[in-house]
Amino acid sequence: MTRQARVVDYPDKIRTLFANLKCVLMEVCGTHTHGIRRAGIHQLLPPGVRLLSGPGCPVCVTGSGYIEQAVRLSRNPKVIIVTFGDLLRVPGNTLSLTQVRAEGSDIRVVYSPLDALEIAQTNPEAEVIFLGIGFETTAPVIALAVKQAMQRKIRNFSILPAFKVLKPALECLLKNPGVNIDGLIAPGHLSVITGAGAFAFLAERYRLPTVITGFKPEEIWLGIAALLQQISKGRAELENKYESVVTAEGNQRAQQLIKEVFEPEAAEWRGLGLVPDSGLGLAGPFWEFDSRKRFGLAEIVAVEPAGCRCGEIIIGKASPEECPLFGRDCTPEKPIGPCMVSAEGSCAAHFYYRSEVNGS
Ligand code: SF4
């Protein structure tokens, strides 16, 4: 059987095999969300199977208080803010970084935190602040930048950390009484770093069927089929269907870098609130590179955009179409919340790949 034939066969087989199954599956990773919508997988599932998105888009889970912090810092004429592009249009409590840049703040977009080091080195009179967001996938390269800053004695460089660690957030999500999911598609990229074993607790402690899978349509179907099979048989196991890139132990060098440079701290998640040990702050020897300490910053309470339901969407309590602003007041050109801004956001995925017929 050719690969193409297998992909075409999957929906029919799955619809036949699981025609009477009722369950809710959650995909955690934004890349899966987009892959599912792009391939129309959500429309080809058995009628009783529902797919929801989880807290895996780094921009979407970052609270607006953090953006506000960056906005305020950017108004200091000595500060250069350096960031990944996705954060630019996310609304803070008052303005987005795009808006303050238009007012004259020095805000630069890079593809690697190592570029921020170069900016610091070529602008010794400035304070260069890198906006450190992301999961265990992004943290190692930022750890590397911090180590290099220390080795190269680049003292005008610091990180404003809002890193996220997924495991405590998933535990918080599963304990939320309003959240009911029957199976989880674990994030493929993150698993490359953490290893498949990092998700074993979901089946062992929460009896949640869990599968790690890739991002091609046939890989997503394979993962969904494995989950439905487990649910229909009453099993709860961790299955790694992405063994070509995800090992049991993960990338140990990357894990070591995270351990060396960062230490766990409580982190604020949009939709979940403050979750203990779900963030990463700079560890003792690297404290001087923490912008919060360098500038004596206090936490800023988040003020979410009026009417935006990103907080509920991120934890699977609502779908983008249930937001009254979706597609009308809020579009990728004029986004109101981060789930519409981010390339990995659930609202953006639902908007870009919505059906012309029923809008779903
Ligand atoms: S459609 Fe826009 S306003 Fe509504 S939840 Fe999504 S991002 Fe927020």
In a domain, 360, yes or no: no
Pair (66, 140) in one structural domain: yes
Domain assignment of residue 300, yes or no: no
pLDDT grade for 304, boundaries at 50, 70 and 90: confident
Whether 25 is in a domain gets the answer yes
Pair 7, 124 in one domain? no
The confidence band for 5, taking pLDDT boundaries of 50, 70 and 90, is very low
Q: What is the pTM of this model?
A: 0.90
Which among 52, 270, 308 is the best mutation to test ligand 1's pocket, defined by most ligand atoms within 8 Å of the CB?
Answer: 308
Say which CATH number the domain at 101 has.
Answer: 3.40.50.11740
Atom of ligand 1 nearest to the CA of 326: 1
For ligand 1, what atom is nearest to the CA of residue 309?
5
| Model pLDDT, residue 355 | 63
Residue nearest to ligand 1 atom 6, measured at CA? 347
Tell me the average pLDDT across 209-234: 96
The arithmetic mean of pLDDT across residues 330-341, rounded, is 92
Q: What is the pLDDT of residue 6?
A: 56
Token readout for 186 is 């674990």
Q: How far is the CA of 332 from the centre of ligand 1 (A)?
A: 10
Statement: residue 4 has pLDDT above 80: no
Q: Is residue 299 part of a domain?
A: no
Per the domain annotation, does 286 fall within a domain?
A: yes
Ligand 1 site-directed mutation target among 61, 86, 310, most atoms within 8 Å of CB: 310
Q: Tell me whether residue 303 is in a domain.
A: no
Give residue 72 CA to ligand 1 midpoint distance, Å.
24
pLDDT one-digit tens code per residue, 78-88: 999 999 988 99
Within this chain, do residues 211 and 115 fall inside the same structural domain, yes or no?
no
Q: Measure the CA–CA gap between 283 and 304, rounded to whole angstroms.
A: 30
Clarify whether residues 159 and 212 are in a common domain.
no
Do 161 and 65 share a structural domain? yes
Tell whether 355 is covered by a domain.
no
What pLDDT, in 10s, does the model give residues 33-45? Answer: 999 999 999 999 9
Q: Which long-range contacts (CB under 8 A, 24 or more apart) does 68-73 make?
A: 68/92, 68/93, 68/94, 68/300, 68/302, 68/303, 69/160, 69/297, 69/300, 70/97, 70/129, 70/131, 70/160, 71/95, 71/96, 71/97, 71/100, 71/105, 72/300, 73/129, 73/160, 73/291, 73/295, 73/297
Averaged confidence pLDDT in the chain: 93
Range 246-251 average pLDDT: 97
Whole-number pLDDT of residue 305: 87
Same domain, 69 and 103: yes
| 61-70 pLDDT tens trace | 998 999 999 9
Give the number of domains in the chain: 3
Residue 170 domain flag: no
User: In the prediction, which pLDDT does 178 show?
Assistant: 83
For ligand 1, the distance from its centroid to the CA atom of residue 335, given in whole angstroms, is 7
Residues 16 and 118 in one domain: no
Please indicate, yes or no, whether residues 329 and 285 belong to a single structural domain of this protein. no
Residues with CB under 6 A from ligand 1: 308-310, 313, 320, 323, 325-326, 330, 336-337, 339-340, 347
Mean pLDDT value across residues 18-25: 96
186 and 158 assigned to the same domain: no
- The domain of 315 spans 310-350
User: Does 327 lie in the same domain as 285?
Assistant: no
Residue 198: give its domain's CATH number. Answer: 3.40.50.11750
Tell me how far the alpha carbon of residue 252 lies from the centroid of ligand 1, in angstroms.
37
274 shares a domain with 161:
yes
Give the SS3 label for residue 22.
Answer: coil
The two structure tokens encoding residue 205? 């402690």
155 plus 65 within the same structural domain: yes
Judge whether residue 2 has pLDDT over 50. no
